[in-house]
Structure 1
Amino acid sequence: MADTLPEVPDRLDQLLSRAAAAHPARPAVVTDDFTMDYATFDARVTAVAAGLQALAPEPSVVAVGTVLHPDVAVAYYAAVRAGHTVAVVNPLLREDDLLHVLGLGGARVVLLDPALNARLEKVRDRLPALRDVVLIGAGTDGLDLLATDAPLTAHGKGPQDTAALQFTSGTTGRPKAVRLSHRNVTVNAAQIAQAHRLDGHTVSLNHLPTYHPMHLNSAIAAGATQVLCASPEPYAALMTANRHRATILYSLPVRLARLAADPDLDSVSMTSVKRIASGGSGLPVPAARRLSKRFGVPVFQGYGLAETSPLTHSDDPDRPVHGSVGTPVAGTECRVVHLDSRAVLAPGGVGEVQLRGPQVMQGYAGGPDGTGLEPGGWLNTGDVGRIDEDGRLFLVDRLKDVFKCDNFLVAPSDVERVLRQDERVADVVVVELADAEHGAVAGALVVLASGHTDALADVVARANDALPYYQHVADAMTLDAIPRSGNGKIQRWVLAAQLTSRLPVAG
């Protein structure tokens, strides 16, 4: 990848105003029944930003949460243009986690869809900082009501000011709020556009469950057109791509793997897509090869974290090496260090991946700049990998216990916490189970309290009712005791194998 950093404006919302000035009539965001060109997009963002300034005159945190919908793009940029910090909230969160992230971020205004608002209403009285809720998304007119012709008040935010909060699960399982500056986000948008070879002729098909800022910002940085496909079905994405003449298709590894395994794959075609990009977790090599052979286009993937805005690596979009996440994007450094000594390893050595670059976060909310970073600005990723002689990164394993279901991060401790709220549960361990459809799902090994030996099914059902679908316990078994080492450690991979095979577990 190129070493030269692309030129970027001082503020995130200026990515949009720059694109609108250069090609006002070009479609920016498209669905099957909606098209918004860049000039309309930019004007609508300004009108909604003025409305947000009226709601919250002082710089505040504005949270945005809804499923894949054009309103997200407007709300995201309007919050920033108003001088606020935008916090992107997963719209599938249930009450407890919603309370946590909104409280952690200190959200003053929330723009969200009706389904998420129904859950928010149950905990809103425990969010004293929250003053205003605006409904956005399908079937709502919240942005229309919020928009105003009033002039915007200048706010003076610059490259080093915080533009966004991105929530992520850490090693403890509770989400942290990552503080990203305007420069973090604008540089990464341009890095992605450069690495993925996006330009004004690009039509990208977004086939994700939610609207991730990575895809929104990089398309705008390139002046590209983005088509949204909300259906989870892989064939729907292919048909949408054909209808809109998409040139690149962005999807999840689990969806692409399911498509590759479909016996009817040979009956469908893509007429305009030149590349398929997979992100969020690892795409199995056989699936990448199958899709590449069937459609005659490269299938490539990348790597990144919420703490890195998010992308740090991308494989070559035209000549990918399957199994690798590629080389660092422009201006980004990557090294692998020994797990114990922390010495930097030579190519081929396996250790923890560390990253440094202009897209690496300011820090975590609640701490000064640099919180969560090593001296010198290096970020410990918690991932184990190796770098080959050509600088390509290959991920080997994870240090953390978290896993991904449908690209949503699942922390076993989050699921365990809900299960432990049931008085019938004496002890529990949640593990990752491989799943062909979702990538991975949660499994539970449960020690039931005395007198409740037949309660497992009801315990799991009650917990699943309190969790978003991607945290649901898909399989469970009871134990007399959870086996632990002398220092209290649990080998989750051993327990996962025993749950899958239903072997007896030694206490």
Structure 2
Amino acid sequence: MPSSITYPQLPLDGLLRRAAERDPDGCALRTGSHWISFAGLDALTDRFAACAAHLTGRPGARIGVANTLGPEFPAAYYGAVRSGGTAVLVNPLIKEAGLLHVFSAAAVEVAFVPATTAELLGRLRERLPALRAVVVVGPEGDALPGGPSAARFPAADLDADACIQFTTGTTGRPRGVRLSHRNLVANAAQTAAAHRLHSGSVTLNHLPLFHTMHLNSAVFAGAAQVLCTSPDPLASLALAARTGATHYYGLPARLHRLAGQLAQAGPWAEGVPAGPALTAVLSGGTALAPATAAALSARLGVPVVQGYGMAELSPLSHSQSPDGGPAGSVGRPVPGTECRIVDLEGRQPLGARATGEVQVRGPQLMAGYLDPDEDPAVDGEGWLSTGDIGYVDEHGELFLVDRIGDVFKYDNELVSPTAVESVLAEDPRVADCVVTGWPDPVHGAVTWAGIVLREPYAPRLLDTLDSIVDGANRRLARFERIRRVEVVDAVPRTPVGKPERRRLRQALHSRAALEAAV
């Protein structure tokens, strides 16, 4: 991976305009049997830009765009920006309370959303005085108002906000992150370099939602994108083979399921079921267990690559090499990015393999939070305190331990839920798991585990649980050992696959208080 890179001096939507000029007939997006060229996507973007300009009547408006997995999202996203506005990303899976927070905090004036989200917004209109128009997009979409697509649009200030993205809210109320044109274009170039994307690449997105990182980096490189809307991992592999995918993007929860499916699939799955063109499987959103990554890599015959980032970093800051990396690492900094580890109390930089808080700085660092009263999390030298605990090895590879808010203390020892989960996940009887601390009057907290059992093992519930815990505890330190366990139907996760530990902790603390009162 290069240590530095040159970023084009373009507005965010200029990446698509450039791709359309370079390869007008090249495939930009494919969904099912339908595809759209770069020129076609650019023209559709002009239509959305004209619609946004017509409905807002001024540059600088904030325009909500739902990141659905279809061609309407990139056209609306780039169109909102091209009109002179700021695209506010809207998760179409969130409910009324989440929508109210996003639309109120960002003062959204116009929204491009699917019918289900439009229906929810209809119930909230009286509480959203800034919202002037809602346009339904997708299969049940409205005709776009707003005049010809050839309308002239204002020249963009590259330091102006291009996008507002809300954090996932796993540790509190979601915060609006302001990302400039420069931030997003820089990260598109960084991601394309880190993942080795080029005009001949074909990326397959097996994701529930469209993530701007995958969109912007592919458009920057002029790569084709294949959108897999089926949640079935094996179906996504078949699609990768049919379309000649070179890069397969998936979430850890789906990749964990895929590893289990392939292990039970029989001889037909030997070799490279995703097709001979595949060069890497890329995982993001949360940690993928090293054992799962190793099993997938062995079965598919390609490296399984992990990365690291957050909304405040546009979002990528680290990536393993597409050739692979050390087990458990999230890679080195992407080009032009610096990383260091600081002591949690003294805030002094630490040496190799010393554990502390991860700090990052680079051109992809956010312009700031939407609420100016939010803790800026960035010091005077431009270092972002990520809230993650980790260490860097002698080669610059970053290893994450856990979130500061997720670790807990048994006596005076820090316990990482993620580390315990990675041990549990290696047991073939475990379909999924989640770990957190259970309040304990003697030790402060003890390890609690919620386990989703694979189907064949459910009938012998107690024997199976005891065996799983015994096996895990033999590999865990004394202070990490699981002391409370129960079977759960599913692990509550965010749309990007992160366990919702905050909600889980609240429920367990309430149960612990009731037990103590008996």
* TM-score, length of structure 2 as denominator length: 0.78
Which residue of structure 2 aligns with residue 252 of structure 1? 251
Query: How far apart are 1:172 and its partner, in Å?
Result: 5.4
User: Residues of 2 paired with 1:101 and 1:323: CA distance?
Assistant: 34
Q: Identical aligned pairs, as a percentage?
A: 42
Residue correspondence of structure 1 range 428-439 to structure 2 within 5 A: 433=450
User: Residues of 2 paired with 1:382 and 1:186: CA distance?
Assistant: 25
SS in 2 for 1:121: helix
Which residue of structure 1 aligns with residue 53 of structure 2? 53
User: Residues of 1 paired with 2:398 and 2:185: CA distance?
Assistant: 24
Which residue of structure 2 aligns with residue 210 of structure 1? 209
Which residue of structure 2 aligns with residue 148 of structure 1? 147
Q: CA 1:207–1:5 in 2, change beyond 3 Å: closer, same or farther?
A: same
SS in 1 for 2:329: coil
User: Residues of 1 paired with 2:106 and 2:376: CA distance?
Assistant: 16
SS in 1 for 2:400: strand
Q: 2:280 aligns with which of 275, 278, 283?
A: 275
Matched, 1:323 2:328: yes
User: Residues of 2 paired with 1:132 and 1:398: CA distance?
Assistant: 39
Which residue of structure 1 aligns with residue 160 of structure 2? 161
Letter in 2 for 1:119: L
Letter in 2 for 1:254: A
Query: How far apart are 1:432 and its partner, in Å?
Result: 8.7
User: Residues of 2 paired with 1:11 and 1:469: CA distance?
Assistant: 31
* 8 Å contact kept, 2:53–2:146: no
Q: CA 1:498–1:62 in 2, change beyond 3 Å: closer, same or farther?
A: closer
* 8 Å contact kept, 2:67–2:211: no
- Could you tell me which runs of 5 or more consecutive residues in structure 2 were left unpaired when the two chains were aligned: 408-416, 419-433, 437-447, 455-491
User: Residues of 1 paired with 2:453 and 2:22: CA distance?
Assistant: 44
Post-superposition Cα deviations, 1:52-86, rounded to whole Å, max 9, x if no partner, equal 11111212000111531111011000000101000
Query: How far apart are 1:240 and its partner, in Å?
Result: 1.1
Letter in 2 for 1:73: P
Post-superposition Cα deviations, 1:415-435, rounded to whole Å, max 9, x if no partner, equal xxxxxxxxxxxxxxxx99565
Q: CA 1:171–1:239 in 2, change beyond 3 Å: closer, same or farther?
A: closer
SS in 2 for 1:215: helix
Which residue of structure 2 aligns with residue 382 of structure 1? 387
Which residue of structure 2 aligns with residue 121 of structure 1? 122
Query: How far apart are 1:51 and its partner, in Å?
Result: 1.7
Post-superposition Cα deviations, 1:200-224, rounded to whole Å, max 9, x if no partner, equal 1100000101011111101000000
Which residue of structure 2 aligns with residue 457 of structure 1? none
Residue correspondence of structure 1 range 39-50 to structure 2 within 5 A: 39-50=39-50
User: Residues of 2 paired with 1:391 and 1:305: CA distance?
Assistant: 19
* 8 Å contact kept, 1:195–1:314: yes
SS in 1 for 2:87: strand
SS in 2 for 1:506: helix
Which residue of structure 2 aligns with residue 4 of structure 1? 4
* 8 Å contact kept, 1:432–1:496: no
* 8 Å contact kept, 1:82–1:152: no
Which residue of structure 1 aligns with residue 103 of structure 2? 102
Letter in 2 for 1:133: V
* 8 Å contact kept, 2:208–2:495: no
Which residue of structure 1 aligns with residue 411 of structure 2? none
User: Residues of 2 paired with 1:498 and 1:128: CA distance?
Assistant: 38
Q: CA 1:233–1:10 in 2, change beyond 3 Å: closer, same or farther?
A: same
User: Residues of 2 paired with 1:162 and 1:172: CA distance?
Assistant: 25
Matched, 1:506 2:516: yes
Letter in 2 for 1:350: T
Residue correspondence of structure 1 range 408-423 to structure 2 within 5 A: none
Q: CA 1:400–1:153 in 2, change beyond 3 Å: closer, same or farther?
A: farther
Residue correspondence of structure 1 range 326-345 to structure 2 within 5 A: 326-345=331-350
* 8 Å contact kept, 1:20–1:42: yes
Query: How far apart are 1:329 and its partner, in Å?
Result: 0.3
* 8 Å contact kept, 1:363–1:372: no
Which residue of structure 2 aligns with residue 178 of structure 1? 177
CA RMSD of aligned residues (A): 3.3
Residue correspondence of structure 1 range 347-426 to structure 2 within 5 A: 347-367=352-372, 371-401=376-406
Matched, 1:29 2:29: yes
User: Residues of 2 paired with 1:379 and 1:284: CA distance?
Assistant: 26
Which residue of structure 2 aligns with residue 486 of structure 1? none
Query: How far apart are 1:503 and its partner, in Å?
Result: 12
How many residues align structurally? 437
Query: How far apart are 1:320 and its partner, in Å?
Result: 2.2
Query: How far apart are 1:147 and its partner, in Å?
Result: 6.0
Q: CA 1:436–1:94 in 2, change beyond 3 Å: closer, same or farther?
A: farther
Q: CA 1:388–1:290 in 2, change beyond 3 Å: closer, same or farther?
A: same
* TM-score, length of structure 1 as denominator length: 0.80
User: Residues of 2 paired with 1:378 and 1:369: CA distance?
Assistant: 16
User: Residues of 2 paired with 1:303 and 1:434: CA distance?
Assistant: 26
Which residue of structure 1 aligns with residue 198 of structure 2? 199
Q: CA 1:118–1:170 in 2, change beyond 3 Å: closer, same or farther?
A: closer
* 8 Å contact kept, 1:332–1:358: yes
Matched, 1:302 2:301: no
Query: How far apart are 1:169 and its partner, in Å?
Result: 4.1
